[in-house]
């Protein structure tokens, strides 16, 4: 299985600040169709995960432009600018290029 | 709007079975595959497998091949997850989520297995 390693595990932030979360895969996530199936989710406390970014850099419907995704191959980053209270929770990356789909271990974004 | 609404929490004893549902609305059910994801208490997310909503063919991750059954009731736009011979390690929240982007998620079903 593809191992997805997220860092950091915990990320203290001040409201209005900017943060980056890293997600590294144990093998390239470029699919044979040329796409890279790396996605980002936020799970707020007591809620189900919600899709933020799909295929590396595409914001899902309704996601503010404060969220941006980048990367290629095995190295990916989620950036959040101007952090707001509703951004707090656990962020997960997911690869669905290779079978089986695998999630990163999560990064908890919390207030300093 | 697109919604996945799951059934309510379950409390079961070891050895029992449970069947949880995921009712889709707001889109054509058979146009999108359905995934199932497990989240044990305080833990991360684990993909269990998916079901082709056009053919009903399930595909299971290795850890979920023995006691887990995915099924459909297409006329009701509903997917089901059945877990047989429950054990303590099955205590978790189970989510249904749509297609390759995992774009829409159910609210989750907490299954507690306790003697």
> In terms of Cα–Cα distance, which of B36, B30, B38 is closest to B55?
B30
CB A78 within 8 A of CB A40: yes
A44 — pLDDT class (breaks 50, 70, 90): very high
* Distance of residue A84 Cα from the nearest chain B Cα, in angstroms: 22
pLDDT of residue B32: 98
Per-residue pLDDT of chain B (115 residues; tens, 9 = 90+): 999 999 999 999 999 999 999 999 999 999 999 999 999 998 999 999 999 999 999 999 999 999 999 999 999 999 999 999 999 999 999 999 999 999 999 999 999 999 9
Q: Do B47 and A50 make contact, defined as CB atoms within 8 angstroms?
A: no
Q: Residue B44: which of A47, A51, A106 has the nearest Cβ?
A: A106
Q: Do B100 and A49 make contact, defined as CB atoms within 8 angstroms?
A: no
Q: Do B101 and A49 make contact, defined as CB atoms within 8 angstroms?
A: no
CB B27 within 8 A of CB B3: no
pLDDT of residue A36: 98
> In terms of Cα–Cα distance, which of B95, B101, B104 is closest to B6?
B95
Tokens, residue A86: 């509703």
pLDDT of residue B114: 97
CB B44 within 8 A of CB B95: no
CB B68 within 8 A of CB B51: no
pLDDT of residue B28: 98
Report B:20-39 residues touching A (Cβ under 8 A).
35
pLDDT of residue B58: 98
Q: Do B100 and A96 make contact, defined as CB atoms within 8 angstroms?
A: yes
Q: Do A49 and B95 make contact, defined as CB atoms within 8 angstroms?
A: yes
pLDDT of residue A15: 96
pLDDT of residue B115: 95
- The DSSP line for A7-72 is E-SEEEE-TT--EEEEEEESS--B-TTS-B-EEEEEE-TTS--EEEEETTTEEPTT--TTEEEEEE
Average pLDDT over residues A24-49: 97
Chain B CB contacts of A50 below 8 Å? 105
pLDDT of residue A1: 97
Q: Chain A residue closest to B44 (CA)?
A: A105
Report the residue of A9, A44, A45, A48 to disrupt the B interface, i.e. the one with the largest count of B CBs within 10 Å: A48
pLDDT of residue B61: 97
Q: Is A59 on the interface with B (CB under 8 A)?
A: no
């Amino acid at each position: 299985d593809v191992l997805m390693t997220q860092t950091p595990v915990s990320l203290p932030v001040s409201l209005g600040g900017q943060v980056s979360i890293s997600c590294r895969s144990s093998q390239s996530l470029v699919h044979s169709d040329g796409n890279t199936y790396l996605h980002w989710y936020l799970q707020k406390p007591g809620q189900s995960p919600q899709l933020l970014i799909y295929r590396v850099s595409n914001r899902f419907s309704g996601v503010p432009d404060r969220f941006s995704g980048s990367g290629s191959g095995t190295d990916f980053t989620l950036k959040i600018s101007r952090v707001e209270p509703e951004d707090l929770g656990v962020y997960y990356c997911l690869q669905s290029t290779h079978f089986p789909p695998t999630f990163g271990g999560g990064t908890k974004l919390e207030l300093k | 709007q697109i919604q996945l609404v799951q059934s309510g929490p379950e409390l079961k004893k070891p050895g029992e079975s449970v069947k949880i549902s995921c009712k889709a609305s707001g889109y054509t059910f058979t146009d999108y595959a359905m995934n199932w994801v497990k989240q044990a208490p305080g833990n991360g997310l684990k993909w269990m497998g998916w079901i082709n909503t056009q053919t009903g063919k399930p595909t299971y991750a290795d850890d979920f091949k023995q006691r887990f059954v995915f099924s459909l009731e297409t006329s009701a736009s509903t997917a089901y997850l059945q877990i047989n011979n429950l054990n303590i390690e099955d205590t978790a929240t189970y989510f249904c989520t749509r297609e390759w982007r995992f774009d829409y998620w159910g609210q989750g079903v907490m299954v507690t297995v306790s003697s």
